[in-house]
């Protein structure tokens, strides 16, 4: 047990608390948000980003040195095709289940039995994506097959 792990567990606890306290682990809350009938969850997400963005900007600008991880370096990713394609698949799953990865942990914490089903599917989907991606890499790097010699 080191200080890094304890810090991560404490922050994880707060984050997990937020999902349930906001009601995000409930199908009806997410479903009504995605029907645009209840806009409060958007206010939650918006105010989360509006809180974090200026604070991170300030820390970055002042070249903050983190106590447990060296110089602060904010992670950014350039736009790629996968963000659109993966995002679209994710959006469909979100619409059907009314759950996202964070709220799955919230469902489990709340004692939801169907949360276990959602977790199983979610893990299976990630594993499936890893398998597909690894196969694509193998095919790209594999030597080109000998051309067929026999013609029909």
- Of residues 95 through 124, those in contact with other proteins by CB under 8 A are 95-102, 104-115, 117-124
For other proteins, the binding residue among 89, 135, 136, 137 (CB under 8 A) is: 89
Residue 71 engages other proteins in binding (rule: CB under 8 A): yes
Residue 90 engages other proteins in binding (rule: CB under 8 A): yes
Residue 137 engages other proteins in binding (rule: CB under 8 A): no
To the nearest whole angstrom, how small is the minimum distance from the Cβ of residue 149 to other proteins? 39
Residue length of the chain: 152
Please count the other Cβ atoms lying within 10 Å of the Cβ belonging to residue 115. Answer: 19
- How would you classify the pairing of strands 70-71 and 65-66? antiparallel
Residue 6 engages other proteins in binding (rule: CB under 8 A): yes
At residue 65, φ and ψ (nearest 5 deg) are -105, 115
Helical (H) or strand (E) element with 65:
strand 65-66
Residue 136 engages other proteins in binding (rule: CB under 8 A): no
To the nearest whole angstrom, how small is the minimum distance from the Cβ of residue 136 to other proteins? 12
Written as one string, the DSSP assignment of 6-53 is HHHHHHHHHHHHHHHHTTTTSHHHHHHHHTTS--HHHHHHHHHHHHHH
Smaller CB separation from other proteins, 23 or 148: 23
Smaller CB separation from other proteins, 2 or 141: 2
Residue 76 engages other proteins in binding (rule: CB under 8 A): yes
Half-sphere exposure of residue 35: CA atoms within 13 angstroms, side-chain side: 10
To the nearest whole angstrom, how small is the minimum distance from the Cβ of residue 62 to other proteins? 11
């Amino acid at each position: 047990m080191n200080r890094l792990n304890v810090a991560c567990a404490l922050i994880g606890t707060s984050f997990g608390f937020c999902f349930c306290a906001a009601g995000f682990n409930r199908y009806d809350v997410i479903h009504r948000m995605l029907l645009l009938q209840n806009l409060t969850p958007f206010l939650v997400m918006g105010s989360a980003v509006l809180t974090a963005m200026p604070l991170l900007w300030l820390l970055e600008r002042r070249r903050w040195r983190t106590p447990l991880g060296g110089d602060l370096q904010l992670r950014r990713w350039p736009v790629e095709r996968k963000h659109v394609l993966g995002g679209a698949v994710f959006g469909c799953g979100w619409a059907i289940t009314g759950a996202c990865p964070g709220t799955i942990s919230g469902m489990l914490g709340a004692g939801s039995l169907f949360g276990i089903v959602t977790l199983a599917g979610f893990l299976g989907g990630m594993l499936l994506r890893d398998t597909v991606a690894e196969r694509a890499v193998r095919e790209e790097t594999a030597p080109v097959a000998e051309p067929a010699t026999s013609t029909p």
